[in-house]
Amino acid sequence: MAYIITRLCVDCKDTACADVCPVECIYTYEGDDKEAFPNQLYINPDECIDCTNCEPACPWMAIFEEDEVPSVFEPDVDLAYAMAEQEEEFEIAEVTRGHAPTQTDVETNYAKYDYTP
């Protein structure tokens, strides 16, 4: 099972996950269809080796093992597989350091999606 980056990453795009990925399977969307592919990171499920490195590295707690994705984020599983089909419109995520979210930031992000872990 691959790991899935959920919409909890939208507009956050912290690349700590990409920094620890041994196979560089974390991407950013560079195409024109921003409605179909929101501003977030994506794991290519065909390339993911299930190493588990990305999940604990994500400061937004936006990454889940595919079979553990909360129901509110189920559409994000399909989005990950759609990404794999259009890989030519994606680039490997460049590792950059940004501001680390506070616990309040993470909880506010959860609230946007009515998600409670």
pLDDT tens digits for 29-67? 999 998 999 999 999 999 999 999 999 999 999 999 999
Of 6, 112, 110, residue with least CA distance to 63: 6
The answer on pLDDT for 90 being more than 80 is yes
Q: CB–CB of 18/93 below 8 Å?
A: yes
Look up residue 23 and give its two tokens.
């196979």
Using alpha carbons only, how large is the chain's radius of gyration in Å? Answer: 13
Three-state DSSP state, 67: helix
- Neighbouring CB atoms inside 10 A of 31's CB total 11
Residue-level pLDDT at 99: 76
Q: pTM value?
A: 0.94
Domains of the chain plus CATH, in order, are: 3-96 (3.30.70.20)
